[in-house]
Amino acid sequence: MRRNAKSNRIEWYESTAALPADWDTFLPQTHFLKGSSLEVHESTALPHLHTIYAAVRQEEQLVAQAAFQVLTLQPAHLNKSAFKKWQYAAWKVFAKSTHPKLLVAGQLFRHDVSSFFWTDARTPFEAFNDYRRIMHLALKKTCAQAVLVKESPEAFVPYFQHYTPEYLLLRNDSSMQLDVWEEWQTFSDYEKSLKHKYAQRLRKVRQSWDALEVRELDALAVEENAAALYELYLQVTANQPVRLGLLSKNFLPALKKYYGSKLKIWGIYEAGKMIAFASAWVRERSFDMFYIGFDYKRNSELQLYFNLLFFAIEQAIALRKPQLLLGRTALEAKARVGCRPEYLHTFLFIKNPLIRTMVSRLQQRFTETTGEWENRHPFKKEPAQ
């Protein structure tokens, strides 16, 4: 029998403290939307960002749940040095005068979680319609100008593509990944698989790494070094042209305390001073790099960024993980160490139809002028299947 979508009731909550008693009832044990998980992320108090929660009920029973981030865009979310003076000046006036908001269906700072869940009481298409309805109500509720759909449930992708022409697919959004070959028993095996010029560069870069000290940090050490970790993180974000939101100093300590050994964090020291850090999620079949930070002045001499990439490869091999995930940024650098792109399904809906058309045209122009990094082939041969 066809269900009447209008009979479904949507409830909204502004904090985890307000979530209903049955919120966790149907959620899988480790789902991101579990109340304890949401509470930890809420406690990190990320600047200019808050989260709202929605529940869909059918005859009083929960059938779908969602979390949305609401980011109030700031002038600092664009890097002044990456734009022409008049462009940044116009953006600054716009941001300060209108306080534009971006609704995020997903998590800006996590790619590995789902912020929507539906029960067996809904078919995937019914759940998609719930999701779409909730997003449009959330746009009105928050007065946001756009919604970014990030890490959408895989079952929803064809529905977005065929039923929502107003949602723009961000075509160049990709995650760089490296398949860890079975024959790589040590990092030396990885080095031997590289073509001469890539292996030569690796050896040159790694010379400076040997003089540094790497320490894995437990939850207490992460908390004690929170200020140093945050300062190094800020140096990295300061050099990005666009930064959709910023972490808080409490972000990594809070997650490390909650997730324990699932989230590893290392400090890299030179003469007793932390000059870089790396973090990663250790999963059953993957080593998933999270946030990094480093001293930009020391990077020019010590090649810290490339050394962190090689450190990630070394860890993935040592832990026998079939796949290394290195994220969305610095595609050229990651292609040089052997990564290939996994193209993602990220969608953007902009309320204003004129701006929506302009963004679509800009994306088309940008797509035509990118992709040179994909020609990198650092290995002597293709990996054994």
Q: Does the CA dihedral 207-213-216-217 come out positive or negative?
A: negative
Identify which of 32, 10, 244, 237 has the alpha carbon closest to the alpha carbon of residue 146.
Answer: 244
Q: Which CATH number fits domain 175-343: 3.90.1570.10, 3.90.1720.10, 3.40.630.30, 3.90.120.10?
A: 3.40.630.30
pLDDT at residue 368 in the model: 52
pLDDT at residue 1 in the model: 29
- Measured CA to CA, the distance from residue 236 to residue 334 in angstroms comes to 16
> What is the 8-class DSSP label of residue 139?
H
Q: In this structure, what token pair is assigned to residue 39?
A: 């509470």
Looking only at the bridges linking them, the beta strands covering 101-105 and 61-72 are antiparallel
The pLDDT tens digits for 288-307 are: 999 999 999 999 999 999 99
Could you tell me the CA-to-CA distances from 184 to 176, 275, 341 in Å, in that order? 19, 29, 21
**pLDDT (mean) for 20-29:** 96
Could you tell me the CA-to-CA distances from 352 to 96, 98, 147, 360 in Å, in that order? 19, 14, 12, 12
Contact, 246 vs 46, CB < 8 A?
A: yes
The total of other beta-carbon atoms located within 10 Å of residue 183's CB is 11
pLDDT at residue 359 in the model: 75
Q: Do domains 5-165 and 175-343 have the same CATH topology?
A: yes
Per-residue confidence at 286, pLDDT binned at 50, 70, 90?
Answer: very high
Architecture of domain 5-165: 3-Layer(aba) Sandwich (3.40)
- Measured CA to CA, the distance from residue 333 to residue 317 in angstroms comes to 19
Contact residues for 288 (Cβ-Cβ < 8 A; gap 6+): 112, 280, 281, 282, 325
> 310: left (phi > 0), else alpha (psi -120 to 50), else beta?
alpha
The pLDDT tens digits for 217-246 are: 999 999 999 999 999 999 999 988 888 889
Strand partners, 12: 54
- Measured CA to CA, the distance from residue 147 to residue 86 in angstroms comes to 27
Does the pLDDT at position 71 exceed 90? yes
- Measured CA to CA, the distance from residue 310 to residue 56 in angstroms comes to 45
Max mean pLDDT among 92-96, 271-275, 331-335, 367-371 falls in 271-275
- The interaxial angle of helices 251-259 and 35-43, nearest 10 deg, is 150
Q: Please state, for a pLDDT cut of 70, what percent of the chain lies above it.
A: 94
- Measured CA to CA, the distance from residue 270 to residue 298 in angstroms comes to 10
The pLDDT tens digits for 139-174 are: 999 999 999 999 889 999 999 999 999 999 988 788
Contact, 56 vs 134, CB < 8 A?
A: yes
The pLDDT tens digits for 245-267 are: 899 999 999 999 999 999 999 99
- Measured CA to CA, the distance from residue 345 to residue 347 in angstroms comes to 7
Within 188-249, strands assigned E span 213-217
Domain spans of the chain? 5-165, 175-343
**The whole model's pTM is what?**
0.91
pLDDT at residue 203 in the model: 96
Contact, 275 vs 268, CB < 8 A?
A: yes
What is the average pLDDT score of the chain? 91
The pLDDT tens digits for 165-211 are: 999 998 878 889 999 999 999 999 999 999 999 999 999 999 999 99
